[in-house]
């Protein structure tokens, strides 16, 4: 009878330990997701001088003081 009690106590202790670890891991994940906003970073948008498409400035092709959505549009806007 004493061995069965010991096994039951060990199983219950293991369950409590496992559930506590899982709960703490979930809390840590939620906390790190709140710290890292991800897509909430604001980027400067510019308009293509050829077609008017708005794109992030870091993805635009720049020629002088004008921005273009692609190299093709930059070439099309150049005076011949």
pTM, rounded to two decimals: 0.48
What is the residue-wise DSSP string for 11-79?
Answer: HHHHHHHHHHHHHHHHHHHHHHHHH--STT----EEE-TTT--EEEGGGSEEETTEEESSHHHHHHHS-
What is the reported pLDDT for 1?
Answer: 78
Domain boundaries in the chain?
1-38, 45-77
What is the tens place of the pLDDT at every residue in 38-67? 556 788 999 999 999 999 999 999 998 999
């Amino acid at each position: 009878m004493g061995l069965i009690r010991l096994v039951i106590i060990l199983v219950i202790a293991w369950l409590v330990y496992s559930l506590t670890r899982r709960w703490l891991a979930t809390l840590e994940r939620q906390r790190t997701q709140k710290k890292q906003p991800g897509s909430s970073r604001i980027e400067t948008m510019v308009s293509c001088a050829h077609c008017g498409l708005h794109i992030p400035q870091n993805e635009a092709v720049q020629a002088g003081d004008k921005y273009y959505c692609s190299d093709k549009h930059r070439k099309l806007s150049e005076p011949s």
